[in-house]
């Protein structure tokens, strides 16, 4: 069908009060960013729903781009026709025919914003339904849970018909809950945490710690590719690469083996906190799941959190591994996350890390190091890259390698 418009219905934001207009404006901005490849599409955010005028754009491409956008409950491709009854009947029949398969049922759901239109809602339901049955005599009529719902909306500027409703991503528009730093390790959990944070309306910036030559370029590229997987939910993400080699070497020299992980995580949190302050963030998000590894016990979290008063939000803290993997597979980060490249949390990992580290001992060990200087130099050396949809990092390296063979 040559659709002329997409009707977008709001999700959770439809319950908002006086701030609803702000939420709608943010959602409209996110939709425009997601549709940057379709400049001809015009976006109109109204109080009850959003209208996307296609102006000849490829409707299939536009519909696919809308699916990951948080804040959308569902959406329907529609055709605008003149408010002429014969044209409305003919278009309705063609739309139902396109979706009909033997055994299917249907109903007509009409709305009328133009109260001067010649038929009222009940008459529209009856007449459109009559013409569909005349064209498809074997089709069943079913008022509850029909296979096809033929929606007819009479507005002031024309009649709009649709019979397909596509489920949206739900949640809140990204950016409506402020900005947060996501500690992105390159494993399974942190991309899932980022996805869940964005679903609650948080604009994330990914902070990744890199320790060459102990961690490879592939490990860095893998983290960037994981960020690419999260981009469709927001349009683009700032990737912040933190040089961490000096700090890890200093920790290795100065800290008792059982506290290597505790002190490493304390430094990571200090640095992320400082970056967050500089970039006007409001919270730090990470992929910690309670009890999963030594640094994710309650005792460890207390010892690590001691370095900041910033809210540390752990979206996957109560999920077990299978639940996290299920989400990772849904957002297509799992296969990439399990590729075996080392990261900063695995190099220098002690064989027996403390699961109940003492805060006073952690502080005493850090007194052997120039903590402020190490943190300042790491923050001064950050490198920021804007990650956009469709970019390839790890795969690009592989292509170049294959060309040499």
- Distance between CA atoms of 249 and 3, rounded to whole angstroms? 60
Please give the sequence-ordered ranges of beta strands (E in DSSP) within 91-191, or none if there are none: 105-112, 140-141, 148-155, 158-162, 166-170, 179-183
Q: Is 26 within 8 Å of 176 (Cβ atoms)?
A: yes
Query: Is residue 110 within a helix (H) or strand (E), and if so which, with residue range?
Result: strand 105-112
- Nearest C-alpha neighbor of 273 from the set 243, 239, 313, 308: 308
Sign of the four-CA dihedral 226, 227, 228, 231: positive
Paired residues of 6 in beta bridges? 52, 77
Q: Is 36 annotated as a binding residue?
A: no
User: CB atoms < 10 A from the CB of 289, how many?
Assistant: 22
Distance CA 370, CA 364 (A): 12
Q: Is 208 assigned to a binding site?
A: yes
Question: What angle do the packed helices 371-380 and 260-278 form, to 10 degrees?
Answer: 50
Q: Is 296 annotated as a binding residue?
A: yes
d(CA 288, CA 193): 8
Helices (H) and strands (E) in the chain, counts: 14, 15
Strand bridging mode 166-170 / 72-81: antiparallel
Token pair 């018909």: residue:
161
Q: Centre a 10 Å sphere on the Cβ of residue 18 and count the other Cβ atoms it contains.
A: 6
49 forms beta bridges with: 9
183 annotated to bind ligand: yes
Asked if 124 and 112 touch (Cβ cutoff 8 Å), the reply is yes
- Judge whether 184 is annotated as a binding position: yes
Compute CA 60 distance to the chain's CA centroid, rounded to the nearest angstrom. Answer: 20
* Cβ contact 155:191 at 8 Å: no
Q: Is 209 annotated as a binding residue?
A: yes
Known binding-site residues equal 183-184, 208-209, 265, 287, 296
Known binding-site residues for ATP equal 183-184, 208-209, 265, 287, 296
């Amino acid at each position: 069908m040559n659709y002329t418009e997409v009707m977008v219905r709001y999700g959770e934001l439809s319950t908002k009060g006086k701030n609803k207009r702000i939420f709608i404006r943010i959602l409209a901005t996110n939709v425009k960013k997601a549709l940057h490849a379709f400049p001809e599409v015009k976006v109109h955010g109204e109080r009850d729903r959003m209208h996307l005028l296609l102006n000849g754009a490829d409707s299939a491409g536009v519909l696919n781009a809308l699916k990951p956008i948080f804040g959308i409950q569902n959406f329907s491709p529609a055709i605008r026709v003149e408010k002429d009854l014969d044209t409305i009947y003919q278009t309705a029949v063609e739309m139902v025919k396109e979706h009909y398969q033997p055994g299917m049922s249907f109903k007509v759901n009409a709305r009328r914003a133009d109260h001067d239109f010649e038929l009222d809602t009940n008459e529209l339901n009856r007449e459109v339904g009559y013409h569909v049955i005349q064209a498809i005599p074997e089709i069943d009529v079913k008022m509850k849970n029909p296979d096809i719902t033929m929606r007819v909306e009479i507005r002031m500027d024309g009649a709009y018909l649709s019979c397909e409703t596509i489920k949206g991503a739900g949640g809140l528009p990204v950016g409506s809950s402020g900005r947060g730093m996501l500690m992105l390790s390159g494993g399974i959990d942190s991309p899932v945490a980022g996805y869940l944070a964005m679903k609650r309306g948080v604009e994330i910036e990914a902070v990744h710690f890199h320790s060459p030559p102990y961690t490879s370029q592939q490990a860095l590229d893998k983290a960037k590719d994981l960020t690419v997987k999260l981009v469709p939910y927001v349009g683009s993400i700032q990737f912040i690469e933190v040089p961490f080699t000096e700090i890890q070497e200093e920790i290795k020299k100065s800290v008792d083996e059982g506290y290597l992980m505790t002190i490493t995580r304390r430094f990571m949190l200090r640095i992320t906190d400082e970056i967050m302050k500089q970039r006007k963030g409001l919270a730090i998000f990470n992929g910690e799941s309670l009890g999963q590894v030594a640094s994710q016990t309650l005792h460890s979290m207390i010892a690590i959190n001691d370095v900041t008063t910033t809210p540390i939000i752990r979206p996957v803290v109560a999920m077990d591994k299978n639940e996290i993997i299920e989400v990772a597979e849904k957002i297509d980060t799992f296969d990439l996350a399990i590729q075996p490249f080392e990261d900063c949390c695995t190099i220098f990992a002690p064989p027996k890390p403390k699961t109940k580290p003492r805060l006073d001992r952690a502080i005493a060990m850090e007194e052997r190091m120039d903590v402020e200087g190490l943190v300042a130099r790491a923050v001064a050396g950050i490198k920021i890259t804007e990650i956009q949809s469709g970019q390839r990092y790890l795969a690009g390296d592989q292509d170049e390698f294959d060309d040499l063979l």
